[in-house]
Structure 1
Amino acid sequence: MAKLAKLQFSAPAWLASFMVVALMLFSSISQASVKIESWMTEQGAKVMYVHSPQLPMLDIEVTFDAGSIRDGDDFGLASFTASLVGTATKTQSEDQIADGFNKIGAQFGGSASRDNASFSLRTLTRDGVMQAAFEQYLDALTQAQFKPEIIERERERLLLGIKQKSVKPQQILNDQLWANLYPNHPYAHPTIGTEATVAKLDQAKLEQFYQSHYLANNAVIAIVGNIDKKQAEKMAQQLSSSLPTGEKPAALAKPKALAKAQSISKEFPSSQTYYSLTQLGIERGNKDYVPLFVGNHLFGGSGFGSYLMEEVREKRGLVYSVYSYFAPMKQNGPFIIGLSTKNASAKEAEQVVQQTLKDFLNDFSEERLQAIKDNLIGGWPLRMDSNSKILGYISMIGFYGMPLDYLEWFPEQIKKVTKQDILDAWNRQIQPDKMLTIMVGQPE
């Protein structure tokens, strides 16, 4: 899922130019296998490490179980907290922190999603740069302060963003999707909160959330770059020992699937109708993920190679784009089909989508399946052709408890998956007669 509350200090132009050249070099190197090493720090943080010596770069990401699922009734608390980390510390002001990163060409970013909050560092590994960047990162992340004047400034910015959602039909649809697909569940509310809840977030609540969730034993530390394991161990231990330890959050409740089909229509003054057909999907680690993933590329996830694009756009010209995807999360994330079309063709597009799904659950071309599998397997190395991509994968593997050989195991499973495996998995997981339909616009 897209992450919110993004905080980013950018590198200067010279580093950007270097990165373009460096990534071109890195992309030319075969990434047939990625060796992931993992261990626990003394304080209980899980470390994921990949030695990547091709470039003089270091990427670090620390991920906490501190997403909006931990908001309680204070919707937006996790996102607001994440957006303020890096704006002040015990010894540095906001300007000093930003200048500290910019002077050495390092990048710091922070964001929060429904499941977690994560904070990244990217720096060169050359002498005099890496250590300074790491120390700045360590201070910004582990010694965060929440200044009242910054809180109020950022609150105004956040409230403005929430208000702007009311004039964006895509955002209206998205909020309706989560609220109605996950009633009475922590996934239901918007990650950034609502006007009413954000207005009530104060310094005490932000500090309490930071102190109770940004814990060493509630963290995954991912490290990728041109440093050896001894250096990685030292950095991980410094990060871990600079964070407190405490009680980890309770396990997340499992959401309940819809008992019957539901339909929601929201009037919006637009020439387009925004449409979604959705239901609960699967959680991370579900045994059906590979056949669902491969099948989705054939059904709606591969652009012009998909059945949805063929039926809705190519044959009938009803849309510019139509898509589908599974979003596995800590618990069952959504399966979503989405499109936008002229108001006059909204009902027809809906009928075509529903029929295409029913047809796919019954049968599909074996030849087209093989073409999708060949494409996925052939393109697999490109999913790991940069340190940042590898960092994203190993952060995910560590946070969701996936096996260390996941990046080698997954393409092998794609090779093995059969048409019958896909039909079985899709018919186990997808129930077309119990889905949520949402339209935002003026469908005729």
Structure 2
Amino acid sequence: MSAPRIAHSRLFPRRLHHWLTTVALALLVGFGLTTPVRAAVSDRFVVDGVPVDFVMSPGIPLVDVIVSFDAGSRRDPPGKAGLAALTRTLLTAGTTQHDEQVLSEAFADLATELTGDVDPDRATLSWRTLAKPEIRTAAAALVAEVLSDATFPDAVFAREQARMIAGLRDALTRPEVLAERAFTAAIYRDHPYGQLTTEASLTSLTRDDVVAFFKRHYTRATAQVTIVGALTHDEAAALARTLIAALPSGEALPALPPVPAPASTPQTIVRDHPSEQTHWAIGMAVLSRDDPDYFPLLVGNWILGGGSFSSRLMHEVRERRGYAYSVYSALEPLAQPGPFVIRLQTRGRHADAAREVVAATLARFLAEGPTPEELALAKRALADGFGLRIDSNRKLAAFLSVVGYYRLPPDWLERYPEAVRAVTLEQVHDAFRRRFDPNALVWVRVGGAGDQPNAPSSASNAPPAPDAAATAH
């Protein structure tokens, strides 16, 4: 069977990069040219009540710093989804000493890159600067000003709120976004991880909401600092102290409720969309950051769907049947169980057949487990290729901030390759059988109406109503 035509997607460059990375990794593994893991044991200490994870990296005269706060989207109040993201966006909108433009120029004058992000668990402020003492100290003082003295101007608040609403409206026309939202809501239901940003929730936000969220969540009690660069221990401690000096002490935030148990029967959610491609998102909540099954599940997922062209899903869905250009599975660990998800897109006429192949492939993997050859390939790829994932200060800081924020052992990164190599066939098979129940899976299907018999030729040009109602079976 010839491969079906796959509509062009904005995700193609990412998939091409993933494919090229996998090919390069295979070549490196095959020729024994993979990079050894850098010394990545964290020097962990506490500065004024804030945990700090530091790795000395003297080879490059730069410093990478990530400040994390328990201020992710899980902390959005009910009905206020989007507040965490808006607050983080507005952090650099000005302080009592510098307006937005002057603040941006001040960072530029110090050759300091300032970025950040919000995920379900945390909000981050990341910055890179020169290790030269007078520059790094001035940069740290400026970042400290942002973290303690943000003013959230009314005009900038209105601008960014409008920008988020416009971005959401656009996102809700895309089938892959609709699938992801429906999947998240289905597996987490009324848990904070399942609260979705809507136009109504964004419209309801006020500047007072942002100020209150900032005061409650950007404190020493919720903070963690990661530093990688050409510094000594004492210099790193002094840098951290400058960063947090003006932060209020704050209070620990309340624990979140447990993630709801999976349903006892499979759930299928169908959303109409005029696209030719059907987007599937299939899975359940499984893996936390400190999960004792972390490494068996990691290795097993690589074999099932995480290993690109070497995975079972790719072989069965794409290579044997030509149903999809890309199909993969992913584990997305969080503080509480994060998603295991299989994602693929296929022509609408192949949607049901592709589902059957995915179900059969997963069922066989759960029943039989991996083969010795699959296990050996997965362990070599994951263990030998890990050094490439932390081969720069910036990459190392990103991984180290995860280790620090989730309070994983300080030597977690250094032990990663050996932990992978120690995984056995029995451990993979046992972990998947215990943790995955085919009857508990959520199956989300969005789109494909434009690739059905007698489909209107103009269907692909008509966007759906935003967040159209789902049909559950």
TM-score (norm 1): 0.91
2: CA distance between counterparts of 1:302 and 1:143? 46
User: 2 CA distance for matches of 1:299 and 1:330?
Assistant: 24
Match of 1:38 in 2: 44
Picking from 350, 354, 372, the partner of 2:359 is: 354
| Alignment of 1:156 onto 2:162 | yes
Separation in structure 1 between the aligned mates of residue 220 and residue 160 of structure 2, nearest angstrom: 27
Q: Is the 8 A contact 1:110 1:120 kept in 2?
A: yes
TM-score, structure 2 normalization: 0.85
The equivalent residue for 1:415 is 421
Amino acid at match of 1:310: H
- The CA RMSD measured in Å over matched residues stands at 1.5
Code of the residue aligned with 1:210 in structure 2: it is F
- Displacement, 1:299? 0.6
2:195 corresponds to 1:201: no
Quote how far apart the aligned CAs of 1:28 are: 10
Are 2:112 and 1:122 equivalent residues in the alignment?
no
CA shift for structure 1 position 127: 5.4
| Aligned equivalents of 1:376, 1:31: Cα separation in 2 | 12
Instruction: Establish whether residue 112 from structure 1 lines up as the match of residue 118 from structure 2.
Output: yes
Determine helix, strand or coil for the equivalent of 1:247. coil
- 1:427 deviation in Å? 0.5
Counterpart Cα distance in 2 of 1:442 and 1:239: 51
1:89 maps to 2:95: yes
Query: 1:180 and 2:167 equivalent?
Result: no
Report the counterpart of residue 218 of structure 1 in structure 2.
Answer: 222
2:327 corresponds in structure 1 to: 322
Where in structure 2 are there 5+ consecutive unaligned residues?
A: 1-32, 453-473
Question: How much does 1:130 deviate?
Answer: 2.3
Q: Do the aligned partners of 2:34 and 2:384 also contact (CA within 8 Å) in 1?
A: no
1:301 maps to: 306
| Counterpart pick for 2:245 among 241, 249, 254 | 241
Measure how far apart 1:180 and its partner are. 1.1
TM superposition shift of 1:152: 0.3
- For the residues of structure 2 that align with 1:345 and 1:409, how far apart are their CA atoms? 43
In 1, the alpha carbon distance for the partners of 2:218 and 2:143 equals: 15
- Highest relative contact order (Cα 8 Å, sep 6+), 1 or 2? 2
Per-residue deviation, residues 171-214 of structure 1 (Å, max 9, x unmatched): 11111011111111101123xx2111111111111101101110
Is this contact kept in 2: 1:67–1:112, CA < 8 A?
Answer: yes
d(CA) in 1 for partners of 2:249, 2:304: 45
Q: CA deviation at 1:304?
A: 0.3
1:65 aligns to what?
Answer: 70
Aligned residues: 415
Match of 2:348 among 343, 347, 352: 343
- Answering whether residue 58 of structure 2 is matched by residue 53 of structure 1, we say yes
> Is contact 1:252–1:330 with CA below 8 Å preserved after alignment?
no
Amino acid at match of 1:271: E
- Deviation of residue 259 (structure 1)? 2.5
Q: 2 CA distance for matches of 1:33 and 1:164?
A: 44
> Would the alpha carbon gap of residues 32 and 157 (structure 1) be closer, same or farther in structure 2, given more than 3 Å must change?
closer
Q: Which amino acid aligns with 2:429?
A: L
Tell me what 1:394 maps to.
400
Gaps of 5+ in 1: 1-26
1:56–1:225 Cα contact (<8 Å) kept: yes
Residue of structure 1 equivalent to 2:11: none
Runs of 4+ that moved beyond 3 A: 27-32
Structure 1 contact 216–241 (Cα < 8 Å) conserved: no
> Relative to structure 2, which stretch is displaced further, 135-144 or 154-163?
135-144
SS in 1 for 2:287: coil
Letter paired with 1:260: T
Question: Offset of 1:289 from its aligned partner?
Answer: 0.8
SS at 2:398 equivalent: helix
Query: C-alpha distance in 2, partners of 1:346/1:355?
Result: 14
